[in-house]
Amino acid sequence: MCRLALKTADIPFSPYEVLTGMEAMQEGYDGSGLGLLLRGVSFADFNYKKEEHLILSGIAHSEAAFQRLHKHMEERGFEQEYDHQFKVNSALIEAKDRYQYIVRVYKKPQGLSVAELEDRLMQARLFLRKDGEQHGGDLTVFSFWSDVIMIKEVGWPLEIGDALGLNDDRIKARVVMAQGRQNTNYGINLYACHPFFIQGIATMTNGENTAFVPIKEWLEGKRIPGYMGYQSDSEVFAHILHYVTKKLNLPLACYKHVITPLKTEELNKHPQGEFLKGLRTACRRLIIDGPNAVIGTLPDESCLLVMDQKKMRPATVGGRPGAWAIASEMCGVEALIPDRDPSLDFQPMREHTVIIPPDRKELLIWSQFDPFTLSQAA
């Protein structure tokens, strides 16, 4: 089984903390991979500013790939400002073809609208990914965005942290998502490690999504750039969240209504039942299935947690004003934020969406049975 841990705090902390939280839940994974996503990033060796800088994350598996990456980024007009060098202990890394772990900071191009910039960043990421695939997979690119670092590697989570020297406090972040992944359906592939990322939106999941193939086919049919890859059945969770919030411009609360809609009998009693029934019909191809806890983060550093419709996966959220943790097991939350009141920990049920807003003052627990403000329709 997979184990998930997320910590969000006002004061930036080392990602290694989250890996120790993962270690507390170690009985639950097989060490086949680790994915880490960091937001609200700060570097010890560089004065990073979200408004001015972009970060590219990935792995170059050969010198040639590394050179090509450099060339492509220059050609696309991205000016490099900082190249973070991990102090790598390669003895602790299973794979032997890692030439360079890439966390590079670029200057944000000026004079573009938000949408234009977002598109350009995604196009650049997709181009580099494709370039890597065309060269026998020698270049893997996880994210290219403002304020986001992603690290993915095969192996035991804490060992990977040690191998990359993540405990040296040279990188810190306000939000860290981590997933220890058991390889379930598909072959071991770096792109198949959670979290999944698209235009600032990231999710990670445990359990499998049994409705994967029809959802994937539908998303691919939309021909929206970036709706591709799908090395993992969980990748669609990130893309659905992207589709709901960025393409349909619906509030975050609607995500739950799209992926696990209420039953007709329940909607008949819901104040917005008529609209929600229509939404369920229009988005019925995005209904997920299987036991899942979906943990997501957004560019404004909000975090969310939703459960599958039958609440067949565990997940707990706990914390105190200023620091919150979401983990698949209670011991994970305990390890991440020991100085909280555990009696206030919350385990969402099938109807809940837990949102930790960017101010991190309190949890929002929203139920599907409650009405929500819908600016657009209803």
Partner 1 sequence: MVSVRSVYTQPSSLTFSDLPWIIQHREDRCTLCGQCTAVCPKQAIYLTYRRQRMPKLDILQKKRGNEYRHFVGIRQHTAIDKMCIGCGMCSSVCPNEAIGPVPNSNEHRSRFHMDEKGDAWKRGGRRNVPGKTILDRIAFDRISMLTDPALDAGRHEFSLNTILGRVLPPEEFLRRQLAGEWIPPTREIFPFVIGSMSFGALSPNMWLGLLQGVAYCNEVLGIPVVMATGEGGCPPWVLRSPFLKYIILQIASGYFGWDEIIRAIPEMQCDPAAIEIKYGQGAKPGDGGLLMWFKVSKLIARLRGVPEGVDLPSPPVHQTLYSIEESVMKMIQTMSMAFGFRVPVYPKISGSTSAKSVLNNLVRNPYAGALLIDGIDGGTGAAYNVSMDATGHPIASNLRECYLELVAQGRQNEIPLFAAGGVGKNGNVTQNGMALIMLGASGVHVGKYIMQACAGCLGNEMGRCNVCNTGICPKGITSQNPKLYRRLDPDDVAQRVADVFSSIRIEMKKIMAPLGRSQSLPIGMSDALGIDDADAAERLGIKYIC
Q: Is position 92 an interface residue for partner 1 (rule: CB under 8 A)?
A: no
For the segment 341-370, give every residue that binds partner 1 (CB under 8 A). none
Q: Which two tokens stand for residue 250?
A: 């619906």
For the segment 274-333, give every residue that binds partner 1 (CB under 8 A). 275, 278-279, 281-285, 287-291, 309-310, 312
Q: Which two tokens stand for residue 297?
A: 């983060």
Span of 15-23, 95-103, 196-204, 257-265 interacting with partner 1 by CB under 8 A: 257-265
Q: Is position 82 an interface residue for partner 1 (rule: CB under 8 A)?
A: no
**Closer by beta carbon to partner 1, 162 or else 266:** 266
Residues 319, 302: Cα–Cα separation, whole Å: 15
**Closer by beta carbon to partner 1, 96 or else 223:** 223
For the segment 2-61, give every residue that binds partner 1 (CB under 8 A). 2
Chain-centre distance for alpha carbon 77: 27
User: Which of residues 87, 264, 349, 362 is near partner 1 by CB under 8 A?
Assistant: 264
Using an 8 Å Cβ cutoff, are 151 and 57 in contact? yes
Q: Is position 268 an interface residue for partner 1 (rule: CB under 8 A)?
A: no
Distance of closest approach, residue 95 Cβ to partner 1, in angstroms: 24
Q: Is position 130 an interface residue for partner 1 (rule: CB under 8 A)?
A: no
User: Which of residues 130, 222, 361, 370 is near partner 1 by CB under 8 A?
Assistant: 222
Q: Is position 248 an interface residue for partner 1 (rule: CB under 8 A)?
A: yes
For the segment 191-210, give every residue that binds partner 1 (CB under 8 A). 206-208, 210
Binding site for partner 1 (CB under 8 A): 1-2, 182, 184, 206-208, 210-214, 217-218, 220-223, 243, 247-248, 250, 260, 263-264, 275, 278-279, 281-285, 287-291, 309-310, 312, 376-378
